[in-house]
Amino acid sequence: MSDILCMYYSRTGNTKQTMEEIASALDAELVELTDGVDRSGWSGWMRSGLDAMRRTTLRNKPFQTERPLKDYRLVILGTPVWAGRCSSIARGFLKEHGKELHSAAYVLLRGSEDKNEEVYEQMDRYTPCGHCAAVSLRRDSVGYAFWQEEFLRQVRISMGWQEEQK
């Protein structure tokens, strides 16, 4: 059983694909978050952006993990960036469960060139532990693979793993 839990919300599939890659590389458990709202298409994009700007959160749908959140050494939360903020689904998770996390790491997926690194601090407001690693990625960008591998390196170091365990 893995000591790492990867959780994510993905509106378009980009965050899902990235979190599947990260979970596979770390042999981690993978769980998808949702609030049950239809966020597809143009209207879903608009609603998502407005929810982020207003910091609106709905209660997330229940999710199932192999063990309680507090029993994981690290929880990696993946989220798209909406209007310069984390998704309302990720914020809802952190508001409800952030105090249960012993160690957190963040994966942001963005559509723009702006790295939106201020989002890490926004997310830390809900987790007393702060974060031990974070990365802001843009799918299909030239540096995607490099920065994803750098994030994995940071996680391995924070977990105390030797480099040969790649």
Kindly state whether residue 37 falls inside one of the protein's structural domains.
Answer: yes
Kindly state whether residue 20 falls inside one of the protein's structural domains.
Answer: yes
The CATH number of whichever domain residue 150 belongs to comes to 3.40.50.360
Kindly state whether residue 115 falls inside one of the protein's structural domains.
Answer: yes
Gyration radius from the chain CA atoms: 15
Q: What is the pLDDT of residues 94-130, one digit of tens each?
A: 999 999 999 999 999 998 888 888 999 999 999 999 8
**CA 79/CA 60 separation, integer angstroms:** 14
pTM of the model: 0.88
- Burial environment of residue 162 by CB neighbours within 10 A (0 to 12, 13 to 18, 19 or more): exposed
Q: What is the pLDDT of residues 27-82, one digit of tens each?
A: 999 999 998 778 888 877 777 777 777 777 777 788 999 999 999 999 999 999 98
**CA 131/CA 75 separation, integer angstroms:** 10
